[in-house]
Amino acid sequence: MSEIKNDYLWWQTGVVYQIYPRSFQDSNGDGIGDLQGILKRLDYLQWLGVDAVWISPIYPSPMADFGYDISDYIGIHPLFGSLDDFDRLIQEVHARKMKLILDLVPNHTSDQHPWFLESRSSRDNPKRDWYIWKNPRPDGGPPNNWLSVFGGSGWEWDEKTEQYYYHAFLKEQPDLNWRHPEVQQAMLNVMRFWLDRGVDGFRIDVMWHMIKDLQLRDNPVNPDYQNHMATYEQLLPVYSTDQPEVHEIVQKMRKLLDSYSDRMMIGEIYLPIQKLVTYYGIDGKGAHLPFNFQLISLPWEAKVIAAAIDQYEGALPANGWPNWVLGNHDQPRITSRVGIQQARVAAMLLLTLRGTPTIYYGDEIGMRDVPIPFQEVQDPQGLNMPDKNLSRDPARTPMQWDASLQAGFTEGKPWLRLDRAFQRTNVQLQKEDPYSMLLLYKRLIDLRHIEPSLTVGDYTPVCSDNQMLAFTRHAEGHPKFLIILNLSHRPCYFKPSTLTFTGTVVMATSPELEGSVVDENISLSGDEGVIIRITDTGL
Pairing of strands 133-134, 163-166: antiparallel
Question: Which helix (H) or strand (E) segment is 537 a member of?
Answer: strand 529-537
Binding mask 259-288 for ligand NOJ (x = CB under 6 A): ---------x--------------------
Question: In whole angstroms, how close is the CB of 433 to ligand NOJ at the nearest point?
Answer: 32
Whichever of 205 and 528 has its CB closer to ligand NOJ, that residue is: 205
Contacts of ligand NOJ in 110-149 (CB under 6 A):
none
Among candidate residues 268, 313, 393, 419, the one labeled active-site is: 268
> Does residue 206 touch ligand NOJ according to CB under 6 A?
yes
User: Interior CA angle at 418 toward 415 and 424, to 5°?
Assistant: 155
3-state SS of 110-126 is CCCCHHHHHHCCCCCCC
Report the residue from 68, 133, 164, 194 that binds ligand NOJ according to the rule CB under 6 A: 68
Burial of 2 (0-12, 13-18, 19+ CB in 10 A): middle
**What is the amino acid identity at position 395?**
A
Comparing CB distances to ligand NOJ, the nearer of 49 and 151 is 151
**Distance of CA 221 to CAs 154, 168, 169, 232, 390, Å?**
15, 17, 19, 11, 22
Q: Under DSSP, is residue 495 helix (H, G, I), strand (E, B) or coil?
A: coil
Write the CB contacts of 245 (distance below 8 Å, at least 6 apart in sequence).
179, 211
Shortest separation between residue 241's beta carbon and ligand NOJ, angstroms: 12
Q: In the bound complex, which residue of the shown chain has the CB atom lying closest to ligand NOJ?
A: 68
Contact string (CB under 6 A) for ligand NOJ, positions 298-337, x = contact: -------------------------------xx-------
344-373 residues near ligand NOJ, rule: CB under 6 A: none
Q: Based on the shown chain and the rule CB under 6 A, indicate whether residue 205 belongs to the binding site for ligand NOJ.
A: yes
51 binds ligand NOJ (CB under 6 A): no
Shorter beta-carbon distance to ligand NOJ: residue 34 or 65: 65
Helix (H) or strand (E) segment spanning residue 289: strand 289-290
User: Least separation, in Å, of the C-beta of 68 and ligand NOJ?
Assistant: 3
- Cβ neighbour number for residue 357 with a 10 Å cutoff: 24
Identity of the residue, 336 or 504, whose beta carbon is nearer to ligand NOJ in the bound complex: 336
Q: Which residues contact 308 (CB under 8 A, 6 or more apart)?
A: 273, 294, 298
- Tell me whether residue 205 is one of the annotated catalytic residues: yes
CB within 8 Å of 272: residues ≥ 6 apart: none
Q: Per-residue x/- mask for ligand NOJ, residues 480 to 519, rule CB under 6 A?
A: ----------------------------------------
Q: Which is nearer to ligand NOJ, 268 or 419 (CB)?
A: 268
| Of residues 444-483, those binding ligand NOJ (CB under 6 A) | none
Residue 476 annotated among the catalytic residues of the structure? no
The conformational region for residue 503 under phi > 0 = left, psi -120 to 50 = alpha, else beta, is beta
Q: Which is nearer to ligand NOJ, 295 or 524 (CB)?
A: 295
Active site residues: 205, 268
Which residue ranges make up the site for ligand NOJ (CB under 6 A)? 65, 68, 105, 169, 205-206, 268, 329-330
